[in-house]
Structure 1
Amino acid sequence: MPVNALPLGLPGLPTRPGALAGVVVLDLSRVLAGPYCGKMLADFGATVIKVENPRDADVSRGFPPYLKAGDDELSGYYTQYNNGKLAITLDFATDGGKQALLDLVAHADIVIENFRPGTMAKLGLGYDVLAAVNPRLVYTAISGYGQTGSRSRRPAFDSTAQAAGGLWSMNGEPDGIPTRVGVTMGDLAATLFGITGTLLALRHAEATGEGQLVDVAQVDSVIALTESAVVDYTVDGKIARPTGNAHSWVRPYELFPCADGHVFFGAYTDKLWRDACAVFGQPELADDPEIDTMRKRFDEQTYLRRVRPIVVEWLSRHTGAELEAMASDVLPITLVRTIDQVVDDPGTAERDMVVEVEQPGFGPLRIFGQPIKLGATPAEPARPAPGFAEHTDVVLRGIAGYTADQVAGLRAAGAV
């Protein structure tokens, strides 16, 4: 059972079925890395309470694109990373807001924050303080450079992590300038490691009653996604450089032109190469003594002189759709799709990877679904995102045990 199992069907609070049913999460974070972590937990049944300052809402509420209803707007970006949560406001700079957080922490299993290290401690609400209130608390702190080290107090964004962690220097075209990865990989990497660390710590807390600090840095997370770059350097002194759409040594494994666009083709093992030769009507090439083994085909000069021209000739004769139809059940080959093609692809629908959220007052919004598929306790990713402070009263009364008069007093004092 969760550390402080919240009964399902608590008056005024929606029932949360799922693998994490009964787990209470206080999500103090903003924008992406922390909120996405909370959203993932909410999808699997946790009661996730988004906590914002009453005078300083999560800035992502203002990010495009916008759903419109008359003069009102709703951020699609905010909705995608906060749907399924409850929302309250607390001003931690006030005595009432600080005490309300402590009272909620007493009944919580997890706290998530992504402030600059030291911010919560300066408010008198650091991990040590919260752990004294609830020794079983899992406190997940996501930051740019981590809670320790000489860089810990530096401000950071996604691009900071990509630059400091090496991704910019490895991405882009050969001999080109450093290039940012096109999505917020620094944030998203920290999200994924944050979820992993949180669940590991939760399991320990459930088994022992002992909570802990989960310290996840964006830069650390990026470094852990650099594949072979670290060992390439520590073993051979090789510094990773941009390779464009090709792999640094696996061949063929890159972007190729086809009759109507581009495809990825990756038949680099001996079996896949033999299958490719058969599919494209040249089975004799599999036994060509110059290119009959993977190691031979990995040689850059041999690849450029012999292998790549063969593949280009094979693929350029067909459209992307034709190539997928004739070969994708045997070979790793796929059309390079634009996002509209991804969203509208029947395969995407088959995996429930675009779901429709009915957002009260604004109508339907299609967002990406949940990639983790559980057989017994599936996710529920198609719930609406909360309005600003929408659940302040019901959360403080239902979880912290406040009376209506106490909540009204906090509101009058500007604490909520």
Structure 2
Amino acid sequence: MTEHQPSTGADPEAILAATERLAVPPGSLEGVVVLDLSRVLAGPYAASMLADLGATVIKIENPNDPDVSRGFPPYLRDGDEEFSGYYGQYNRGKFGLALDLASEAGKEVLRDLVASADVLVENFRPGTMAKLGLPYEALAAINPKLVYTAISGYGQTGARSRRPAFDNTAQAAGGLWSMNGYADQPPVRVGVTIGDLSATMFGVIGTLAALRHAERTGVGQLVDVAQVDSIIAMTETAVVDYTVDGTVASPSGNEHAWVRPYELFPCADGQVFFGAYTDKLWKASCELFGTPEAIADPEIDTMRKRFDEEVYARRVKPLVISWFADRTRAELEELAGDVVPLTAVKTIGEVVDDPGTAEREMVVETDYGSFGTLRSFGQPIKLSATPATTDRPANHMGEHADDVLTALAGYGAGRIAALRSDGVI
């Protein structure tokens, strides 16, 4: 099937022992081996999600240029030593290998690992792996079942593919930035790195689809995910609004383009989101807030009438504001939260401390020994039979090199010692 033969040298007992030390809790992806060459966010988060779901994920970093996110705040501290909470959140559950891919020996190590891997994730600028002599085609020749997931700014093809890109690149080039903010002000970027995060989600979906195909047919493939493409796919109706009606989406603040009421409203101690726009929800709201006469008011008695911008501004919005003005967020949620879409706008501190967040296990604790405990967000995918494991720590750089190279490449202690002496690992 392939001429590439991984180097050997470890005895079967050593391989078994190393394999046991790399064991992960059972999960849906049990037995799947992932090589994570990615950095910072989109790729690392995608690989971390696979780790949560039971895959054995190997974080591979350049010993001379480690993942820059290891230096990102906030920090857990042990005396003068620091460990990045940012890095920890996006790399939990991974095993660490430091590997110099600029060296021929490092390239050979990666080829040996690819031979026994199922997935490889990278988010370099397109062409980087080819420059290293490790393009998808070469690695697929070693392991035809390999799923090679490449996340980049503009994708692996097209005239823009080699351009450098960050999250803001995707928000700008994908149109999202131009749509966000207030109509009378310059557009505003989305306040989180949605370019990276959307590429993460599509990267995971593509990886799982390709993995299913590889398991069924024995044939892997390249999964090409671009941040810009991902943002375009997150713009809701903006594309069809333009292609059908010629309407160019523009900032609309906290209001929806045409659904009303469906926005932020002030209350006694902050703001709430209120979205009771259907006839059924509007009727329930009028009854809850003591204005049943508004249900049959001929000017606002149907959803289509309330959608009218002028009618909404003159009749509907003032009525809703009057409902909320003297009530707190908690009072409003207590009164109406179980009946209509009404939700307090919370700070992240309130979210972390909310009992509902704990009930859904969306803030999890990870023990980092002398560095203390890291609380980070949990896994939003809830599987009834094979639940995710979210409490495993992120790796220190290169800390699992011996076990990884023994279990996955079959290297003996002498080969590993030589690689370490030569600065390859």
TM tier, smaller? over 0.9
Q: Which residue is 2:71 aligned to? A: 62
1:16 paired to 2:25: yes
Q: Could you say what the CA RMSD is over the residues aligned between the two structures, in angstroms?
A: 1.2
Q: CA deviation at 1:8?
A: 11
C-alpha separation in 2, matches of 1:196 and 1:62: 29
Amino acid paired to 2:172: A
> Does structure 2 retain, via aligned residues, the 8 Å contact 1:8–1:15?
no
Q: Deviations over 1:2-36 (max 9, x none)?
A: xxxx9998233233310001000000000000000
Runs ≥4 residues deviating over 3 A: 6-9
Q: Which residue is 2:363 aligned to? A: 354
- Which 5+ residue runs of structure 2 have no aligned equivalent? 1-14
2:101 counterpart SS class:
coil
1:372 paired to 2:417: no
1:80 corresponds, among 81, 89, 93, to 89
> Does structure 2 retain, via aligned residues, the 8 Å contact 1:255–1:264?
yes
1:48 corresponds, among 43, 53, 57, to 57
> Does structure 1 retain, via aligned residues, the 8 Å contact 2:120–2:148?
yes
Q: Which residue is 1:189 aligned to? A: 198
Distance 1:249 1:386, change over 3 A: same
TM-score, normalised with respect to structure 1: 0.97
C-alpha separation in 2, matches of 1:90 and 1:26: 12
Q: Deviations over 1:172-220 (max 9, x none)?
A: 1112102110000000000000000000000000000000000000000
Q: CA deviation at 1:281?
A: 1.0
TM-score, normalised with respect to structure 2: 0.95
Q: CA deviation at 1:106?
A: 0.4
2:370 counterpart SS class:
coil
Map 1:155-166 onto structure 2 (within 5 A).
155-166=164-175
Q: Deviations over 1:271-300 (max 9, x none)?
A: 111110111111221111111111111110
Amino acid paired to 2:374: L
Map 1:336-347 onto structure 2 (within 5 A).
336-347=345-356
> Does structure 1 retain, via aligned residues, the 8 Å contact 2:18–2:406?
no
- Which 5+ residue runs of structure 1 have no aligned equivalent? 1-5
C-alpha separation in 1, matches of 2:405 and 2:369: 23
1:132 paired to 2:141: yes
1:214 counterpart SS class:
strand
Amino acid paired to 1:123: L
Q: Which residue is 1:233 aligned to? A: 242
Choose 221-230 or 6-15, whichever is displaced more: 6-15
Map 1:172-211 onto structure 2 (within 5 A).
172-211=181-220
C-alpha separation in 2, matches of 1:156 and 1:221: 13
Amino acid paired to 1:109: D
Q: CA deviation at 1:361?
A: 2.5
Q: Which residue is 1:217 aligned to? A: 226
Q: CA deviation at 1:382?
A: 1.2
Amino acid paired to 2:421: A
1:11 counterpart SS class:
helix
Distance 1:295 1:119, change over 3 A: same
Amino acid paired to 1:350: E
Identity of aligned residues (%): 68
1:213 counterpart SS class:
strand
Highest relative contact order (Cα 8 Å, sep 6+), 1 or 2?
Answer: 2
Q: CA deviation at 1:140?
A: 0.2
Amino acid paired to 1:190: A
> Does structure 1 retain, via aligned residues, the 8 Å contact 2:99–2:424?
yes
C-alpha separation in 1, matches of 2:75 and 2:179: 34
Q: Which residue is 2:176 aligned to? A: 167
C-alpha separation in 1, matches of 2:314 and 2:17: 65
Q: Which residue is 1:307 aligned to? A: 316
Q: Which residue is 1:38 aligned to? A: 47
Q: CA deviation at 1:317?
A: 2.2
2:290 counterpart SS class:
coil
> Does structure 2 retain, via aligned residues, the 8 Å contact 1:68–1:362?
yes
> Does structure 2 retain, via aligned residues, the 8 Å contact 1:360–1:384?
no
C-alpha separation in 2, matches of 1:41 and 1:8: 24
Amino acid paired to 1:239: V
